[in-house]
């Protein structure tokens, strides 16, 4: 849904339920310890993994609700790459993408998407974004 507040910090983010089984948490911890990337598929996966992060590269098996709002300035703890759709302007999802990829890169990617007639939103085209670190 669009952000309709003047100050981004005032936006109330919707909640999503998530569940991370022990085996999944163990695999993610192992990947981080071995220097391998964690690729999140979709924004719900990003919110889930970052909500369960207890330290850089550490994640707990848990379930619950998250209302984490990720926007530029957020420091990612778990996710190293993202596969996601092209999201609508002024949405929390495009802010999440901008937090991960950087505002300028995101604007350039979206400009290219418009010029090349990519499809946006849930059933549109997708992109892979790798961390800048």
DSSP string over 98-113: HHHH-HHHHHHHHHHH
Whole-model pTM: value is 0.85
pLDDT (average), residues 64-73: 93
For 42: left if phi > 0, alpha if psi spans -120 to 50, otherwise beta; the answer is left
What is the CATH number assigned to the segment(s) 15-130? 3.40.1780.10
Distance CA 38, CA 41 (A): 10
Q: Each residue of 19-65: pLDDT tens digit?
A: 999 999 999 999 999 999 999 999 999 999 999 997 666 898 999 99
Question: In the predicted model, is pLDDT for residue 8 greater than 90?
Answer: no
Domain ranges of the chain: 15-130
Please give the angle made by the CA atoms of 76, 19 and 73, to the nearest 5 degrees.
15
Helices (H), the chain: 22-33, 43-51, 92-101, 103-115
Identity of the highest mean pLDDT range in 1-10, 28-37, 87-96, 111-120: 28-37
Specify the pairing of strand 53-55 against strand 62-66: unpaired
Question: In the predicted model, is pLDDT for residue 119 greater than 90?
Answer: no
Question: In the predicted model, is pLDDT for residue 74 greater than 90?
Answer: yes
């Amino acid at each position: 849904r669009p952000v309709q507040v003047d100050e981004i910090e005032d936006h109330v983010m919707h909640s999503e339920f998530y569940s991370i089984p022990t085996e999944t948490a163990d695999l993610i911890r192992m990947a981080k310890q071995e220097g391998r990337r964690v690729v999140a598929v979709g924004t719900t996966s990003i919110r889930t993994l970052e909500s369960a992060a207890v330290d850089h590269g550490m994640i707990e098996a848990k379930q619950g609700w998250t209302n984490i709002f990720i926007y530029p300035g957020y420091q990612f703890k778990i996710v190293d790459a993202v596969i996601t759709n092209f999201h609508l302007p002024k949405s929390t999802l495009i802010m999440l993408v901008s937090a991960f990829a950087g505002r300028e890169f995101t604007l350039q990617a979206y400009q290219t998407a418009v010029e090349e007639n990519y499809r946006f939103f849930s059933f549109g085209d997708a992109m892979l974004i790798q961390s800048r670190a």
